[in-house]
Amino acid sequence: MTDTGRKRPWLAALLAFIYPGLGHLYLREWLRALLWFGLVFSTTTLLINDSMVAPLSDGVSLEALLTVSRSIPIEASVVLFVITAFSMADAFYMATRGNAEAEVVEGAKCPHCGKELEDDLDFCHWCTTKLDRPAEPEQ
């Protein structure tokens, strides 16, 4: 039995680690994803000069990528790391919160077949499984 409404918080965080905003795309949080993409783009534009990425003008190769990575200042690397960490934490939080909200909205489900239950029955009307519900006090 799979529940398509639930999202995996660790997958959202892993995608945000790959690139900030990808976890939010997975969660269908379009505006947040756009904001994270924009934050990384603007930070990279402001902190990394064109002269640092000049080795990539001849073509992308492993040697050119290593040269560029060595020329990036430590401050820019730290800022991008912090942005990535916050994006991961936000994606994890959003997935966890969304799952908790979905559980509240869905109501009680049968432990055997997973279908929604009627509040006043002591059995599942879908699969006839007897339910162990706490007794309600009589008034």
- Is-contact 6 101, C-beta < 8 A? no
> Residue 19 pLDDT > 90, yes or no?
yes
Ordered DSSP codes for 62-130: HHHHHHHHHHS-HHHHHHHHHHHHHHHHHHHHHHHHHHHHHHHHH--B-TTT--B--TT-SB-TTT-PB
User: How far apart, in whole angstroms, are the C-alpha atoms of residue 76 and residue 44?
Assistant: 8
Mean pLDDT for 97-120 is 74
> Residue 108 pLDDT > 80, yes or no?
no
**Confidence at 116, pLDDT banded by 50, 70, 90:** confident
**Domain residue extents for the chain:** 9-106, 109-139
Q: Report the predicted TM-score, pTM, of the whole model to 2 decimal places.
A: 0.68
Among the listed residues 98, 77, 83, the one whose alpha carbon sits nearest the alpha carbon of residue 12: 98
pLDDT tens digits for range 44-86: 999 998 888 888 888 889 998 899 889 999 999 999 999 999 9
The C-alpha angle with vertex 48 and arms to 46 and 51, in degrees rounded to 5, equals 125
